[in-house]
């Protein structure tokens, strides 16, 4: 059912009664900031903003919504890249913020486990771990706003996936509210548990369409003993792939990052950052940013390995030139170059950005084929691939012809460019969403290019666990029918 202006009042009164004045608002001044995603691509409407204080309130609220068939859009830090936390424009949904649930329920330093409520901000988790001389091995640009609930629901990635895996690999247990308001609790971590389907895995990465994550138990690692950051100059992406294999062989588990930067992006960053310097003397077609990390106590193993790794790489012509950051300050400057690519490219002009992955072994071939293919197909466009080579995950940007008007180009060409890129990725057996998720931005492309068997199976699961379609409708996996009265 869609609520008309008049008949929503009894429902909203019930919500207000349930959550109290701190837990609900429909004041537009308070609501509006959360109705647009942070990149400003989507703006929706909502009945109001619910901010429950605990799991019991979330459960009661979902039960209420379930009974009255009111759609729910869960939201954490509102820092997603795919519009997954922004409601549609119908105004029929309730926006459900988990931000008030920001308690760290437990931290067991011996067991290296932490139990965070959904609203705990990633930076807060990092700080709590550091106090115990531990670390949480996942970070990303939005760490000051991204919440644990959002990170779990979207199986977030970041720059440490190469060694430590994405969010899925960090989650030991979750607590979640299902579509009918029942609570599933697997927070107690068991290293071995074979009591049937692993429902936790089903909820991770389901973008709030199967349940609302209210808390998670996460693994922690010993704090870092030290790191070495290397900047290397390369002739080709194929050489980068060979260097990556070499580093994996030589450094094993110490290898924590392997990022690639093409000349175009590097030049853009040098133009963009006022004080940026080229870490190397000459010009190179490609650059690699390589990071090795040792746990506490094992710091002295790093230098001999780095030295031997680079020496043999030079001997075998796996790189043209390389330098090791002399200190932590310089290491941060190397990373700043990498992290400035996105804003630097944005400063040049409009672009279509693609968060894609292909098998690691095929990434070099993919880039070598895709860049000229895109530029042939779309004259005056420039294609740039950079990022997590070690994960088979590059950010593939296609820049509009210089001087293009953003709106005009986006209306006329951007979609076609993206279709072309996604078709090519699919031919390589890759994914049209490596780490940002489907949200609303890639719903159509997933329907077009996804494996029909996988899509049918996902729809069957969605239908089974949320038969009324109230959980984040229209995201990830549109069902044939809209939410309907019971």
- Looking only at residues 70 through 109 of this chain, which bind its own copies when binding is defined by CB under 8 A? 108
- 36-75: which residues touch its own copies (CB under 8 A)? none
Q: Does residue 5 interact with its own copies by CB under 8 A? A: no
Q: Identify which of residues 35 and 178 has a Cβ nearer to its own copies in the complex.
A: 178
Do 358 and 368 meet the contact criterion of CB atoms below 8 Å apart? no
Q: Does residue 192 interact with its own copies by CB under 8 A? A: yes
Do 241 and 289 meet the contact criterion of CB atoms below 8 Å apart? no
- 335-394: which residues touch its own copies (CB under 8 A)? 357-361, 388, 390-393
Q: Identify which of residues 198 and 484 has a Cβ nearer to its own copies in the complex.
A: 198
Exactly one of 116, 337, 434, 471 binds its own copies (CB under 8 A); which one?
434
Do 81 and 437 meet the contact criterion of CB atoms below 8 Å apart? yes
Structure tokens at 343: 């804003």
User: What's the min distance (Å) between Cβ of 199 and its own copies?
Assistant: 6
CA dihedral 462, 466, 467, 469 (to 10 degrees): -90
Q: Residues in the chain, how many?
A: 486
Q: Identify which of residues 239 and 393 has a Cβ nearer to its own copies in the complex.
A: 393
* Residue 210 burial (C-beta neighbours within 10 Å; 0-12, 13-18, 19+): buried
Of the candidates 116, 159, 121, 118, which has an alpha carbon nearest to the alpha carbon of residue 137? 159
Q: Does residue 292 interact with its own copies by CB under 8 A? A: no
Candidates 90-98, 246-254, 321-329, 378-386; binding stretch for its own copies (CB under 8 A):
246-254
Exactly one of 51, 86, 147, 155 binds its own copies (CB under 8 A); which one?
155
- 199-228: which residues touch its own copies (CB under 8 A)? 199, 201-202, 204-207, 210, 222
Specify whether the backbone of 100 is left (phi greater than 0), alpha (psi in -120 to 50) or beta.
alpha
Count of residues that interact with its own copies, criterion CB under 8 A: 79
* Residue 301 burial (C-beta neighbours within 10 Å; 0-12, 13-18, 19+): middle
- 108-147: which residues touch its own copies (CB under 8 A)? 108, 110-111
Q: Identify which of residues 100 and 436 has a Cβ nearer to its own copies in the complex.
A: 436
Exactly one of 48, 119, 157, 257 binds its own copies (CB under 8 A); which one?
157
CA 122 from chain centre, in angstroms, equals 13
User: What's the min distance (Å) between Cβ of 310 and its own copies?
Assistant: 17
CB neighbours of 389 closer than 8 A, spacing ≥ 6?
A: 237, 240, 241, 244, 258, 259, 260, 288, 360, 363
User: What's the min distance (Å) between Cβ of 161 and its own copies?
Assistant: 6
Exactly one of 435, 470, 471, 483 binds its own copies (CB under 8 A); which one?
435
Candidates 5-13, 88-96, 138-146, 189-197; binding stretch for its own copies (CB under 8 A):
189-197
Q: Does residue 457 interact with its own copies by CB under 8 A? A: yes
Candidates 3-11, 25-33, 143-151, 432-440; binding stretch for its own copies (CB under 8 A):
432-440
* C-alpha to C-alpha distances, 113 to 106, 134, 148, nearest whole angstrom: 8, 10, 14
User: What's the min distance (Å) between Cβ of 153 and its own copies?
Assistant: 11
Q: Identify which of residues 195 and 329 has a Cβ nearer to its own copies in the complex.
A: 195
Structure tokens at 242: 């060979």
- 169-188: which residues touch its own copies (CB under 8 A)? 178, 182-186, 188
User: What's the min distance (Å) between Cβ of 198 and its own copies?
Assistant: 6
How many CB atoms lie under 10 A from the CB of residue 126? 16
Q: Identify which of residues 137 and 350 has a Cβ nearer to its own copies in the complex.
A: 137
Q: Does residue 191 interact with its own copies by CB under 8 A? A: yes
DSSP string, 55-118: HHHHHHHHHHHHHHT--EEEESSS--SSSTTS--TT--SEEEE-TT---EEEEETTTTEEEEET
DSSP string, 326-390: SSHHHHHHHHHHHHTHHHHHHHH--EEEEEEE--GGGHHHHHHHHHHHHHHHSTT-EEEEEEEGG
């Amino acid at each position: 059912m869609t609520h008309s202006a008049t008949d929503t009042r009894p429902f909203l009164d019930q919500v207000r009664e349930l959550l109290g004045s701190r837990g609900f608002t429909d004041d537009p001044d308070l609501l509006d900031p959360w109705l647009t995603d942070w990149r400003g691509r989507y703006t929706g409407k909502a009945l109001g903003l619910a901010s429950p204080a605990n799991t019991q309130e979330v459960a009661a609220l979902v039960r209420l919504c379930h009974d009255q068939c009111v759609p729910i859009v869960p939201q954490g830090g509102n820092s997603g890249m795919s519009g997954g936390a922004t409601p549609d424009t119908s105004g029929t949904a309730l926006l459900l913020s988990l931000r008030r649930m920001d308690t760290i329920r437990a931290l067991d330093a011996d067991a290296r486990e932490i139990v965070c409520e959904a609203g705990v901000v990633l930076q807060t988790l990092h700080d709590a771990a550091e106090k115990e001389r531990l670390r949480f091995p996942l970070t990303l640009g939005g760490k000051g706003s991204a919440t644990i609930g959002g990170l779990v629901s979207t199986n977030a990635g970041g720059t440490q996936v190469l060694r430590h895996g994405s969010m899925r690999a960090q989650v030991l247990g979750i607590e979640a509210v299902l579509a009918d308001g029942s609570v599933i609790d697997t927070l107690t971590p068991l290293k071995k548990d074979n009591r049937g389907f692993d429902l936790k895995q089903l909820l991770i990465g389901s973008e709030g369409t199967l349940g609302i994550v209210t808390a998670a138990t996460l693994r922690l690692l010993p704090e870092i003993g030290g790191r070495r950051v290397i900047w290397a100059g390369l002739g080709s992406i194929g050489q980068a792939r060979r260097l990556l294999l070499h580093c994996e062989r030589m450094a094993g588990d110490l290898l924590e990052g392997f990022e690639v930067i093409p000349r175009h992006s590097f030049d853009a960053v040098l133009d963009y950052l006022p004080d940026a310097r080229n870490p190397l003397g000459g010009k190179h077609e490609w650059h690699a940013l390589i990071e090795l990390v040792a746990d506490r106590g094992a710091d002295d193993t790093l230098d001999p390995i780095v030295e031997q790794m680079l020496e043999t790489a030079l001997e075998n012509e796996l790189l043209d030139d390389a330098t090791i950051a002399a200190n932590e300050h310089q290491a941060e400057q190397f990373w700043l170059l990498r992290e400035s690519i996105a804003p630097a490219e944005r400063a040049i002009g409009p672009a279509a950005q693609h968060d894609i992955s292909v098998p690691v072994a095929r990434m070099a071939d993919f880039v070598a084929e895709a860049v000229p293919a895109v530029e042939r197909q779309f004259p005056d466009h420039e294609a740039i691939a950079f990022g997590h080579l070690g994960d088979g995950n590059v950010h593939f940007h296609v820049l509009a012809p210089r001087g293009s008007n953003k709106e005009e180009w986006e209306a006329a060409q951007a979609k076609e460019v993206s279709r072309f890129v996604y078709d090519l990725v699919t031919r390589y057996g890759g994914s049209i969403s490596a780490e940002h998720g489907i949200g609303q931005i890639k719903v159509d492309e997933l329907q077009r290019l996804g494996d029909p068997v996988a899509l049918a199976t996902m729809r069957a699961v969605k239908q089974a666990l949320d038969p009324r379609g109230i959980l984040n409708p229209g995201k990830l996996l549109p069902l044939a029918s809209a939410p309907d009265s019971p």
